[in-house]
Amino acid sequence: MELDRDLCSLQEARNLVRAARKAQEALMNFTQEQVDHIIDMMREAGEANAARLAMMAVSETGMGNYADKCFKNYFASRTVYDSIKSMKTVGIIREDREHKIWEIAEPVGVIAGIVPTTNPTSTVIYKAMIALKSRNAIVFSPHPSAVRCTNEAAKIMHQAAVAAGAPEGVIGCILNVSMGATTELMKHPSVAMILATGGSALVKAAYSSGKPALGVGPGNVPAFVERSADLPKAAEYIVMGKTFDNGTICASEQAIVAEECIADELIGHLKRNGAHFLDPEDVQKVSKVVMLAKGGVNPKVVGKDPKFIAQLAGISIPEQTKCLIAPLSGVGPQWPLSYEKLTTVLGFYRVADWHEGCERCFQLLEAGGVGHSLAIHSQNEEVIREFALKKPVNRILVNTPAAMGGVGATTGLSPSFTLGCGTWAGSSVSENVTPLHLLNIKRVAWHLGIPERKPVEPMNVAGAGATEGVQNSTLSTQVDANMVQEIINQVMQHLNGMKC
């Protein structure tokens, strides 16, 4: 019977891709006005169902909390829509009259959308919106522990799109989930691109599928608090970011790195915002239940509140605790809580100055968050600049909750639930993914003229210096080196003038 189920799962994936391919062939001929009407109706459906989908997600996965899941669904609907509604994604999207170039948008085709259990409905809304905005069809593969809510979100988006004029099958979702079906989806000949959000193993599989893929890596986000920071606000924002949906956003803070001269004052503000500092014995107990012995976070605690973690660890905490903070002295296996924790637990480090803080942040990133994000709380622009120039991350989030700042909710970054980590983390994209990443751009380039050439005078080569076996007659002319360099300079100057 298990074999039959696997075969059914594979066949379902193939059928969904076949339907999506047919739908995409029709969708690619839609006008910009038709596309924009479709995503507007999808936005409306996402907003209308934000609360119901949030309740389904929390109930099915046991992760996060209802209020923040509502916000995520609303963000994926309204905020993402507002950021992409004016994008040109059909026909000539840019015309450079000076350099005589047209840029023409073409859809990539059918997209495989891999959905994580931490954001099972908001990711569907967001990915469906950016896929159809760029005239692509999309087929989702849910996480096994979030099948029902993910399918419901895909169904809502599909119904809204079709009601607005999109072809049937333009949004699909696997119901009989299996690893085989996910693999079949990613490797199917009719799938043009993979949009992967999930664990490292799944993202690696996407990049190994032989298809173009946009994937993201883990985010072991340090939050550095420098002596010039607004400490009450820094404490408020760090707790806010870490506890948002119980720490399930990959951009959420994972460790605080504080300068020694302000550390005690910062601790006071953190406690007033609901943080509970663990003593050394409790740090060990929490480490054992939050992190697995072989590495990685324990799935049982992902997206859980501090009360659940405390009960699991057998420790007592104040009733109103919002997050647990573990003072640590190093980074690595000896300090398990120095790694990414998609739950309500933070590490805490003291450093002598910002130079040592810079190094500690680098160690944390190297331990598992390179390329992703770093938060800094400071009023010193020179220190901020040093961090921005030297840290191997693609998002430096200044004086803001990292979880919300990273996805573009509290910053000017593009609203997104797929945060590229760049080549540092083996990702093909370094920014927040938008519809523009799901397009092929054709370019039409007109003739601008032939670069002017100066005449080159030939020079006779004297017989002296000819080597054995080489006759003087074979070296009849030689171009003057200075003249060659002059020609090269002229050509390069002209080409530079043509850059768009």
The residues annotated with a catalytic role in the active site are: 250
Close Cβ partners of 128 (under 8 Å, ≥ 6 residues apart): 42, 113, 138, 154, 157, 158, 161, 171
Q: Are 305 and 345 in contact (CB under 8 A)?
A: no
**Burial letters 33-46, b for 16+ CB under 10 A, else e:** eebbebbebbbebb
Close Cβ partners of 142 (under 8 Å, ≥ 6 residues apart): 115, 120, 150, 151, 173, 174, 177
Pairing status of strand 253-259 against strand 275-277:
unpaired
Separation CA 382–CA 87 (nearest Å): 35
CB under 8 A, 24+ apart: contacts of 66-72: 68/244, 68/245, 68/246, 69/121, 69/122, 69/245, 72/119, 72/121, 72/122, 72/245, 72/417
Separation CA 499–CA 497 (nearest Å): 6
Separation CA 144–CA 47 (nearest Å): 25
* 401-to-96, 228, 275, 375, 406 alpha-carbon distances in Å: 39, 17, 15, 8, 8
Q: Measuring CA to CA, which residue among 384, 344, 361 is closest to residue 222?
A: 361
Separation CA 124–CA 372 (nearest Å): 22
Q: Three-state DSSP class for 111?
A: strand
* 335-to-258, 286, 291, 295 alpha-carbon distances in Å: 18, 11, 10, 11
Burial of 428 (0-12, 13-18, 19+ CB in 10 A): middle
Q: Are 287 and 293 in contact (CB under 8 A)?
A: no
Separation CA 170–CA 192 (nearest Å): 14
Q: Measuring CA to CA, which residue among 305, 279, 297, 372 is closest to residue 336?
A: 297
Close Cβ partners of 461 (under 8 Å, ≥ 6 residues apart): 472, 475, 476, 477, 478
Q: Three-state DSSP class for 113?
A: strand
What Rg, from alpha-carbon coordinates, does the chain have? 28
Separation CA 258–CA 375 (nearest Å): 12
Pairing status of strand 91-96 against strand 101-107:
antiparallel
